[in-house]
Structure 1
Amino acid sequence: MEVLALAGKQTPLFAEYKESNGKTIDFGGWDLPVQFSSIKEEHHAVRSKAGLFDVSHMGEIRVTGKGTMDYLQTILTNNVKRAKIGACQYNAMCYEDGGTVDDLVIYKFSEEEVLLVVNASNIEKDFEWLKQHANTDVKVENESEHFAQLAIQGPLAENVAQKLTKTDLSEITFFRFKSEVNFANKLVLISRTGYTGEDGFEIYCSPNDAVHLWRSILSAGESEGLLPCGLGARDTLRFEAKLALYGQELSKSITPVEAGIGFAVKTDKEENFLGKNVLKRQKELGAKRKLVGLEMMDKGIPRTDYEVFYKEKKIGFITTGTQSPTLQKNIGLALIDSEYKELGTEVEVQVRKRRLKAKVVSTPFYKRS
């Protein structure tokens, strides 16, 4: 195992990376695998077959109590009261000015119990934010150390996972979950969710069971072409599907509406939530900035933070960019002034000392059929 810039925090699967030739990097204070074989090979495996990811660095915060729904309605942008028991729901948590504290997924066990799955780099910040705005009707607990999380993604994900459980996984539909599932002889929570643009499952388990599950899934998936996958492929896959990454498409200075996740912002719900007034104006009048897709016309790759120009005017910046393994094109997501958002608009990207031509294209870049 090649180790680069070790930072300290390790998931229960750290020792397993060596068995699959994982190359680790520092990611938000965690030692995580960037790749096992190659980013492109892992990317294509998920698009055509299946891939296995260790996402145990993600955070889990549980909210319980009789006031759970009312409390979450005031701190999250989506309408949590509309989510059914046993459903997952994508959400954002905002500051008063509409900037994003974090984006997250909730798991609704009951009207009085919800699990929030948050980004690894934001665990402590989110926990403090949630506690700061809590009342005596709810209890907020950071349970991140009690969970490990694996993700099986790809068109053959169900085939692989079904080998390890008698539970009919076809009954777990998109953005639904089931707890207390016997999976490879361990009790887990399993949801039909993911961060790749493909079908798949995320499995929440005890950290003590993570190694057994990792090995069991690799074994079950061998005949299906499943590969262990790292952060590199996770990033190119989510980028092609236009799934936001906190710190790039979303941040303290970028609102959910600007980032294109306005579908998770329900300004018509009765309750006031943090940032509601700003986000409501942006939804009704249009945000001044918009996240768009760019395709390079000149030869060059648009990288994060590269500046975008229209003639001589700076109009925004690249949030994420790469050569798409699926499309074989140099593409990027850019947050730009909304007046330049129309499809086909030609702009320029500052790539080192040169300005290279690009055009606004539709997103997501990739959508599974």
Structure 2
Amino acid sequence: MSQDCKKLVLHDKHASLGARFAPFAGFEMPMHYTGIKDEHACVREKVGIFDVSHMGAFYLEGADAVRAIDHIVSNDISSLPMGKAAYTVMCVEAGGIVDDLIVYKLADNKVLAIVNASRAAVDFEHMNKHLAGKVKLTNRSDDFVMLAVQGPSAEAVVNPLVVAELKDLVYYGAVETKLVSGVAVTVARTGYTGEDGFEILIPNAQASTFYDQLMEAGRAYGIQPIGLGARDTLRLEAKLPLYGHELSLDINPLEAGLHWVVKLGKEVPFVGQDALVDLKGAGLKRRLRGVIMRERGVLRPDYPLFAGAEQVGVLCSGGPSPTLGYSIGIAYIAIAHADDKDGVEVEIRGKRSPVELTTKPFYKRG
């Protein structure tokens, strides 16, 4: 393991639980414990706990906090009710994506932004560059442990441990509350798995005890620790994008299918808005699509896609779906072929196999 990798606050706990580690975004992260397929099924059918403390946590505080973040991100944070979160993106002036993130409107003068670990330093610099008004931006990523409890039994596990009544917390709702032990925490009904669940920020000093409490509360529900390997297969089945794969500075949110988080008419113009207006008017050249291969074989990133002799796309992500039993992927497809019902093939080691394109998630709970 590289000596340059940071260790999570709960590293030793994960090691004691049998974690196998690998470098990811500058951290030594648990990849799996009992195995990816087993952990994947646990989250789909029961409940699992992830340590996602590698994610960045930025606070914007001050009288202009909401207006300031609205200038930086594409979604309309000003129109959010208090205690709600929004998935959104930050763009450069040319329209490319700096990062995707979740913004939590905790108060009129307090906003929390959770960003990708691999982009945290870039994101903080980008936010500082475009910050305006009476607002202070603080990077508090090292102050908290972030745990994600995900799966059908997530509410039953977390609810007894917190003061807030979680059945009243709507999807993408967020609340600053306390544990029954008195420790201040932030709880959000968000996740990256396609299942119900919660992401919880807790101060470092109290994190180990809380992790143990979650494991004990979840024992009756079959809770297991879950690594990043299963987190990736879960997000792929839900067709959720990953920065560096489906999103990058060379990709704009419109072609990424994120038009629903791009509010071109909101009150506060955002960085990259003018470019996106122009790109929308000119027409998109490619669209993001799901790819299904029912024949034997495994879709992998960078595999090319063809319609006849013409290469029409390339896979950004891919792998076997533990839930569905066949291989799935995500790719950008040339606009002329983005809605093709058949005739698209993937090339794997010189051999072509037919695939299906879809605009829908591969898996949807319920």
Partner of 2:273: 276
Q: State the distance in 1 between where 2:199 and 2:67 align.
A: 28
Matched, 1:328 2:319: no
Partner of 2:249: 252
Task: Give the drift of 1:102.
Answer: 0.4
Deviation track 1:252-274 (CA, whole Å, cap 9, x = no partner) reads 11111111221111112133212
Partner of 1:190: 187
Question: Mean alpha-carbon deviation: is it higher for 149-158 or for 248-257?
Answer: 248-257
Partner of 2:135: 138
Partner of 2:53: 56
Letter in 1 for 2:191: G
Counterparts of 1:39-54 in structure 2 under 5 Å?
39-54=36-51
Q: State the distance in 2 between where 1:123 and 1:66 align.
A: 24
Counterparts of 1:149-160 in structure 2 under 5 Å?
149-160=146-157
Question: Mean alpha-carbon deviation: is it higher for 23-32 or for 65-74?
Answer: 65-74
Task: Give the drift of 1:70.
Answer: 2.5
Letter in 1 for 2:299: P
Which residue, out of 303, 306, 310, partners 1:309?
306
Partner SS, residue 46 of structure 1: helix
Deviation track 1:259-293 (CA, whole Å, cap 9, x = no partner) reads 12211111121332122123234445642111101
Partner of 1:91: 88
Matched, 1:125 2:95: no
Which residue, out of 18, 21, 24, partners 1:21?
18
- Give the conservation status (yes or no) of the 8 Å contact 2:174–2:188: yes
Q: State the distance in 2 between where 1:106 and 1:5 align.
A: 32
Partner of 1:339: 336
Which residue, out of 165, 170, 173, partners 2:167?
170
- Give the conservation status (yes or no) of the 8 Å contact 1:6–1:25: no
Task: Give the drift of 1:185.
Answer: 4.9
Matched, 1:79 2:91: no
Partner SS, residue 210 of structure 1: helix
Task: Give the drift of 1:66.
Answer: 2.1
Task: Give the drift of 1:162.
Answer: 2.0
Which residue, out of 346, 363, 367, partners 2:364?
367
Counterparts of 1:100-111 in structure 2 under 5 Å?
100-111=97-108
Q: State the distance in 1 between where 2:158 and 2:333 align.
A: 41
Partner SS, residue 161 of structure 2: coil
Q: State the distance in 2 between where 1:110 and 1:14 align.
A: 33
Letter in 1 for 2:108: E
Letter in 2 for 1:105: I
Letter in 1 for 2:61: T
Partner of 1:299: 296
Partner of 2:263: 266
What's the C-alpha RMSD, in Å, of the aligned pairs?
Answer: 1.6
Partner of 2:227: 230
1:345–1:212 CA distance, 2 compared to 1 (3 A): same
Partner SS, residue 194 of structure 1: coil
- Give the conservation status (yes or no) of the 8 Å contact 2:188–2:200: yes
**Overall identity of the aligned pairs, in %:** 39
Q: State the distance in 2 between where 1:38 and 1:159 align.
A: 25
Task: Give the drift of 1:183.
Answer: 4.6
Q: State the distance in 1 between where 2:331 and 2:180 align.
A: 41
Partner of 2:178: 181
Partner SS, residue 82 of structure 1: coil
Which residue, out of 26, 29, 32, partners 1:35?
32
Q: State the distance in 1 between where 2:70 and 2:359 align.
A: 32
Q: State the distance in 2 between where 1:352 and 1:42 align.
A: 30
Letter in 1 for 2:315: I
Structure 1 unaligned regions, length at least 5: none
Q: State the distance in 1 between where 2:78 and 2:64 align.
A: 12
1:356–1:265 CA distance, 2 compared to 1 (3 A): same
Letter in 2 for 1:86: G
Q: State the distance in 1 between where 2:79 and 2:257 align.
A: 21
Q: State the distance in 1 between where 2:364 and 2:294 align.
A: 22
Q: State the distance in 1 between where 2:327 and 2:166 align.
A: 37
Partner of 1:211: 208
Structure 2 unaligned regions, length at least 5: none
Corresponding pairs, count = 366
